[in-house]
Amino acid sequence: MDVGVGAPVVSLAGVTKRYANGTLAVRGVDMAIGQGDFVSLLGPSGCGKSTVLRMMAGLIPPSAGRIEMASGGHATGDVGFVFQEPTLAPWSNALKNVMLPLRLAGVPKPEAEARAAAALASVGLAGFEKSYPRALSGGMKMRVSIARALVTKPRLLLMDEPFAALDEITRHKLNNDLLTLWEAERFTAIFVTHSVFESVYLSRRIVVMAARPGRVVEDLSVDAPYPRGEVFRTSAAYAAHCRDISAALSRAMGE
């Protein structure tokens, strides 16, 4: 299955961010993310990829430049965000954690419960509604976090190195499940990572960034069809893409 990329969901023009302490996090970033695309922001630490993501989410304002969202800016629940840590409320069970965005939007409790249960089931956690975060494994907590981000049916899903703290086997499984969800729900995905392999496996487009100051240095596409699976992971095309992206990353870091 492969569907073309639509009109931009979010576009950045000359976006610069300088923090209050004077650090220039990113400089002059231009980028347009098409509807339904899966884009990775890849780069070494300190290249401002998380900063770009947080600006897209509207969590921090840019110092200069413009960020435009399709359909007139952020509507509540139009953007989902997955943090590096699961960031769950420890005092609530899995179901209540997933219900949170709906409750904040004023969705009545019975409807919120039903939608949250469906979201949990969609990430493979049916039967864990009453479990508290401390009773869940790292991978399962991340699944709850993804369910929470998807429960509002966002058009844009922003992910900030969500699987960095997981073991290799769990990470592969979650990568596959994330692609399954993406193909089923057709949201636009922006995925921040520092792993070349993860970015090649997941995305259709990889934006390579460099540090000091953070900027976009290369914009490459990975033209392999979906669904991708173990066959793709062991294919020559995958290896070739990884080699190209690694080279781009080396150039970015060597500059």
Partner 1 sequence: MSVVLSSNEAATAVEEHSERKVLGLTPDGWLRILMPMLIGFLALGAWEWAVRAKEIPSYILPGPIEIGRTLLTDWGTLSGSLLITLQITFAALTVAAVLGLALAVLFAQSRIIELSLFPYAVILQVTPIVAIAPLIFIWVDDIRIALLICAWIVAFFPILSNTTLGLNSADHNLVDLFRLYRANRWQVLRYLRLPTAMPYFLAGLRISGGLALIGAIVAEFVAGTGGRASGLAYRILEAGYQLKIPRMFASLVLISVTGIAIFLALSLISHLALRHWHESAMKERK
DSSP 75: P
By the criterion CB under 8 A, which residues form the site for partner 1?
54, 57-59, 76-77, 79, 81, 83, 85, 87, 89-93, 100-101, 103-105, 122-125, 131-140, 143, 169-170, 173, 177, 180-181, 183, 227
Which residues on adjacent β-strands are paired with residue 85? none
- Least CB distance to partner 1 at residue 33 (A): 18
8-18 and 24-34: which strand pairing? antiparallel
Between 20 and 169, CB nearer to partner 1: 169
- Least CB distance to partner 1 at residue 143 (A): 8
Between 91 and 254, CB nearer to partner 1: 91
| Residue among 233, 237, 101, 89 nearest 171 (CA) | 233
Q: Which two tokens stand for residue 229?
A: 């699976």
Between 5 and 121, CB nearer to partner 1: 121
Query: 147 to each of 3, 86, 185, 219, how far by Cα in Å?
Result: 24, 11, 12, 30
- Least CB distance to partner 1 at residue 242 (A): 24
Q: Which two tokens stand for residue 132?
A: 């508290």
Q: Which two tokens stand for residue 183?
A: 């193909």
- Least CB distance to partner 1 at residue 133 (A): 7
Between 101 and 214, CB nearer to partner 1: 101
**CA dihedral over 83, 85, 88, 93, signed as positive or negative:** positive
